[in-house]
Chain A
Amino acid sequence: AQKVTQVQTEISVVEKEDVTLDCVYETRDTTYYLFWYKQPPSGELVFLIRRNSFDEQNEISGRYSWNFQKSTSSFNFTITASQVVDSAVYFCALSEGRPGDYKLSFGAGTTVTVRA
């Protein structure tokens, strides 16, 4: 069964629009970690954020913000006032399991295209 589901496969917006990427996860563990990574057209994977299961505070970093809701098993990502440089594939990932043996399970990714 898919542990991480990224609801949107592709999103296309015009510059300055807001865009929200939805991520739903599945785990039986009480301690787990959630991540978002960005993969621009150049291909490398860039870490954006890590959140543990005990910290449900929303986070804002510049134009990026994250909404973590344990009640709905969701960890959504919003880009405010999108720019062309935000065009990339974004991955949500879950890390669960025994301490010291954490492995990442990735979602299939959401491709974001920001048009000028």
Chain B
Amino acid sequence: NAGVTQTPKFRVLKTGQSMTLLCAQDMNHEYMYWYRQDPGMGLRLIHYSVGEGTTAKGEVPDGYNVSRLKKQNFLLGLESAAPSQTSVYFCASRTGQGNIAYEQYFGPGTRLTVT
């Protein structure tokens, strides 16, 4: 099992450009999440999904959109990149069995620089 994979690993964008980050998991997890990690701030939740076809806003959703058309994939889109979106982006997934907050499994991260 590959676990959680993210594509691409690195990307440099110019202000105003758009891009999509792809997250894929092979653990049949119901829940998927997108976070951003900035120095000294831990990880902050951007958007999440509780199942195929659903999405919800997290703590810092502005400037991002997401889609979950297939259970195993969760896409994060930046329509018009800004320098403030320079960050490391992590995708995570977890099982939804029972009413328990099981641990999340993280992808390797995508380092995005917006110039």
Seen from chain A, the residues whose Cβ lies within 8 Å of a Cβ on chain B are: 4, 9, 32-33, 35, 37, 43-45, 47, 50, 52, 91, 95, 99-104, 106-109
| B44 close to A (CB within 8 Å) | yes
Using known A-B contacts A103-B45, A106-B43, A108-B41, determine if residue A43 contacts B102 with beta carbons closer than 8 Å.
no
Q: Mark B79-115, 1 if CB is under 8 A from A, else 0.
A: 0000000001010100010011111111011000000
Could you show 16 A-B contacts with beta carbons less than 8 Å apart? A4-B42, A9-B40, A33-B100, A33-B101, A35-B103, A43-B109, A44-B108, A44-B109, A47-B103, A102-B101, A103-B33, A103-B58, A104-B33, A104-B43, A108-B40, A108-B42
B residues less than 8 Å from A32 (CB atoms): 101
Q: Which 9 A-B pairs have the closest CB atoms?
A: A99-B99, A102-B101, A106-B42, A95-B101, A45-B106, A33-B101, A106-B43, A47-B103, A108-B42
